[in-house]
Structure 1
Amino acid sequence: MSRTGRVLVLGGTGEARRLATALVAEDVDVLSSLAGRVADPRLPPGEVRIGGFGGAAGLAAWLTEHTVDVVVDATHPFAATMTASAAAAAEVARVPLLRLQRPGWTAQPGDDWRWVDSLEAAAAAVAGFDRVFLTTGRKGLAAFAGLTAHCLVRSVDPPDPPLPARTTVVLERGPFSLDDELALLREHAVQVVVTKDSGGAMTAAKLVAARELALPVVLVRRPALPPGVPTVATVDDAVAWLCRR
């Protein structure tokens, strides 16, 4: 790849870090932007910016002021607000935009998956269980605050209140092995797992563990992507797209 301009990578995911690594290795001028919601984030190589832009209007102004040539939105599949802002800002600033998003998970034989459209719907789906494993991230747990079940919550940083009245918090960062997930589910006598369809291998072991223990899994569907934005599923595809630009 020849160095032709600045690439802004909206990151915070493993795919974003791997993309930044590949671009830096090719001497591309890449700037990675992180939202700053994790206290100790894993930083990609190259220049890094931490913090918000001030919505779509602020990002559009920032893109123009800093002469960005291409934006790659490699944020989390559930970072819907950032993804929408990126699409709107890129259109206003007339900067090409690519969405890099890993595929969602696919059910395997023996899985008992129950799909819902929101965290609120997920809370309703587990209302009859007594021991619930909430692995949806620390944001949005207020949707489960009314549960009377004992809830096991896992997140990288301490979760924000309100939380269910009976909550055990486990602070851990993936990836997680199958043995670890089986041990965790057994130790806490989990009856149902709640997660988002984040995709990827880093946290997929909990789904395998649930299958082996014959536990149901409530999965929250991904938000829809903005129309008209080209989307790729892998870092290699993103690099190829940038080469074609």
Structure 2
Amino acid sequence: MILILGGTGEARELAARVPAISSLAGRVSSPRLPVGEVRVGGFGGVAGLASWLQDNDIHAVVDATHPFARQITANAFEACTQVGVPFLILRRPGFAAVEGWRWVDSVADAARDLPGSRVFLTTGRQDLAEFASCPQWFLARMVEPPEPPMPHRIEVLLSRGPFTVDGELSLMRSRSIDVLVTKDSGGSMTSAKLEAAQQLGIPVVIVRRPPLPPASTVATVDEAVSWLDTAGA
């Protein structure tokens, strides 16, 4: 049996192609569920995951979580190393860089010296606290309602992609957005905002992905399936 650490479109696609248990973090109340067996919730850190892998006779683990789910990736790599289970990271490519983007290493860095006065913020609800002391007005888009702390001047837009360029252009124009803050999540579901910002000449502040552990890494579901075949899973 294979364990897929999921929550992304790539994870759902992989689950439809191989027999697997898909694990979701449980941070979204109504997630898009993959086919097959699904478990929701954490494992209890490295030790808990290592025990779970052994108790459930898992033959391989594919980490297909969000590119910014740093902790679960680190825990999974360590747990698999401890118990000798093959481990693969499936990560979609990041966004193609555009000249003039301001790249930063963290959300905290993005909030520091933030340009503009009306910000379109798409880094996720867990990062709102980093912008709580910023004086700008924010349009914050996310899937689930946020909890404080958050910016004092904010409009929260609850929405789930995919998004279109026309839709993003209309949204940014209607709110007079003059800067976009986002993460290098990659993928087509959320790339439209970057094209819209480029068309409107709006500055982009983009957070770099965290570094990955020294594990086998692929960019596509086809490559992940091939790796599983080679690993004998």
TM-score category, normalised to shorter length = over 0.9
CA-CA distance at 1:159 after TM superposition: 1.5
The one of 8, 22, 33 equivalent to 2:17 is 22
Q: Please give the alpha-carbon distance, in whole angstroms, between the structure 1 residues aligned to 2:71 and 2:113.
A: 25
| Structure 1 counterpart of 2:4 | 9
CA-CA distance at 1:130 after TM superposition: 1.1
Runs of 4+ in 1 over 2 A off after TM superposition: none
CA-CA distance at 1:244 after TM superposition: 1.1
| Structure 2 counterpart of 1:82 | 72
Deviations 1:183-225 (A, max 9, x none): 1100110010000000000000000000000001000000000
The amino acid of 1:237's aligned partner reads E
The one of 224, 229, 233 equivalent to 1:238 is 224
- Do the aligned partners of 1:125 and 1:218 also contact (CA within 8 Å) in 2? no
The amino acid of 2:192's aligned partner reads A
CA-CA distance at 1:125 after TM superposition: 3.5
- Do the aligned partners of 1:116 and 1:122 also contact (CA within 8 Å) in 2? yes
The amino acid of 2:14's aligned partner reads L
- Do the aligned partners of 1:112 and 1:211 also contact (CA within 8 Å) in 2? no
> Pairwise mapping of residues 38-187 of structure 1 onto structure 2 (< 5 A)?
38-108=28-98, 111-126=99-114, 128-187=115-174
- Do the aligned partners of 1:134 and 1:152 also contact (CA within 8 Å) in 2? yes
Q: Please give the alpha-carbon distance, in whole angstroms, between the structure 2 residues aligned to 1:68 and 1:16.
A: 17
Q: Please give the alpha-carbon distance, in whole angstroms, between the structure 1 residues aligned to 2:141 and 2:113.
A: 19
> Pairwise mapping of residues 213-232 of structure 1 onto structure 2 (< 5 A)?
213-227=200-214, 229-232=215-218
- Taking only the aligned residue pairs, the percentage that are identical comes to 58
What root-mean-square deviation, in Å, do the aligned CA atoms of Structure 1 and Structure 2 show? 0.9
Q: Please give the alpha-carbon distance, in whole angstroms, between the structure 2 residues aligned to 1:226 and 1:107.
A: 23
> SS of 2:213's equivalent?
coil
CA-CA distance at 1:140 after TM superposition: 1.6
The one of 182, 190, 202 equivalent to 2:189 is 202
CA-CA distance at 1:107 after TM superposition: 2.1
Q: Please give the alpha-carbon distance, in whole angstroms, between the structure 2 residues aligned to 1:11 and 1:61.
A: 19
Q: What is the TM-score with the length of structure 1 in the denominator?
A: 0.93
CA-CA distance at 1:92 after TM superposition: 1.0
Q: Please give the alpha-carbon distance, in whole angstroms, between the structure 2 residues aligned to 1:88 and 1:244.
A: 22
Unaligned runs of 5+ in 1: 1-5
